[in-house]
Structure 1
Amino acid sequence: MNGWDVVGSVFVALGVFFIIMSAVGLLRLPDVYSRLSAVTKAATLGVVLILAGAFFLKPSWTAFITLALAAALQFLTAPVGGFALGRAAYRSKSPLAAQTNYDELATGEASAPVADDG
C-alpha cells in the first residue's frame, strides 16, 4: 500500500462519513427545510470526497477528467435541486419547525414572526 492508496482511502472514508451524517440529519432534523440543508450540503461534500478518493486510488488523466466533470456537475446541480425542493416545500405551505423564529419569505413583512402552533 503506497501513499496514494492511503490518501484515497482517507478521502473515501471521509466521504462515507459525510454521507452517513447526511442520512442522520435527514432522520433527526425537525422540518423539511433543515433536512434539505443537511442533505444538500453534506451529501454533496461526501460525493465529491468519494470522487477525489477514487482518483487517488486509480490515478490517470482519463479518471481525472471524468471525476472532475462529475464533481463539477455535483457542485452545480445539488444546490439548485435543493433550492427547487425547498421552494416547492415552502409554496406548498410545509410547516416550519417550532424553533424557527422568523419567516423571512412571508408576504407583507421582511421578517414576520412565525405563528406559535402550540
Structure 2
Amino acid sequence: MTPVPDTALDVASAVLLLLGALSCLLGAIGMVRLPDLLARLQAATKPQTLGLLLVLAGTALRVELESAVTLALVALFQVITAPVISQLAGRSAYRSGGVRRDLLVVDELAKELPPD
C-alpha cells in the first residue's frame, strides 16, 4: 500500500478548513439576520458546531496522532455541550418571557410549566 501523497492531504485539509469556515460564517450571518431568539439559537448551535468539526477534521489531517486525538476530544465535548447549552438558553428565555408564545407552531413547554 502506497502512502497518500502530501498533495492529496493538503487538498483535503484545505477543503475541510474552507467548508468549516464557510459554515461558521453562515452561522454568524444567521445570528445577525434571523428575527427572534429561538432562530438565533439555531444559527448559533448547528452551523457553528458543524463548522468547528470541519475545521478540527481539516487540522487533524495535518498534525501528529497525539494532537489529532486531542482534537477528537475537543470535537466530542463540543457535540455534547452545544445542544445542551442551547436547550437551556432557550428554556430560560421561554420562562422569562423572551419568546413570543403566540408565534410558536408547537409549544411543548406549555404543558410542563404552570400557567401564568
Which ranges in structure 2 are unaligned for 5 or more consecutive residues?
A: 1-5
Residue matched to 1:64: 68
Higher helix proportion (structure 1 or 2):
2
TM score, norm. by length of structure 2: 0.83
Which amino acid in structure 1 is aligned with residue 12 of structure 2? V
- Whether contact under 8 Å (2:38, 2:99) holds in the other structure is no
1:95 aligns with 2:114: no
Residue matched to 2:89: 85
Report the alpha carbon displacement of residue 98 of structure 1 after superposing the two structures with TM: 7.6
Which amino acid in structure 2 is aligned with residue 7 of structure 1? A
Report the aligned-residue RMSD: 1.9
TM score, norm. by length of structure 1: 0.81
SS of residue in 2 equivalent to 1:64: helix
Query: Given the alignment, which residue of 49, 52, 55 partners 2:57?
Result: 52
Which amino acid in structure 2 is aligned with residue 79 of structure 1? P
- Whether contact under 8 Å (1:17, 1:46) holds in the other structure is yes
| Cα distance per residue 1:48-68 (max 9 Å; x no partner) | 11000101122x211221011
1:41 aligns with 2:50: no
Alignment partners' CA distance in 1, 2:78 and 2:65: 20
Percent identity for Structure 1 against Structure 2: 40
Report the alpha carbon displacement of residue 103 of structure 1 after superposing the two structures with TM: 2.9
Which ranges in structure 1 are unaligned for 5 or more consecutive residues?
A: 109-118
Residue matched to 2:79: 75
Report the alpha carbon displacement of residue 102 of structure 1 after superposing the two structures with TM: 4.1
Alignment partners' CA distance in 1, 2:77 and 2:35: 29
Which amino acid in structure 2 is aligned with residue 44 of structure 1? T
Alignment partners' CA distance in 2, 1:75 and 1:6: 26
Report the alpha carbon displacement of residue 88 of structure 1 after superposing the two structures with TM: 0.8
Alignment partners' CA distance in 1, 2:65 and 2:91: 39
SS of residue in 1 equivalent to 2:110: coil
**Residue-pair matches, total:** 107
Q: Which runs of 4+ in 1 moved over 6 A?
A: none
Report the alpha carbon displacement of residue 94 of structure 1 after superposing the two structures with TM: 0.8
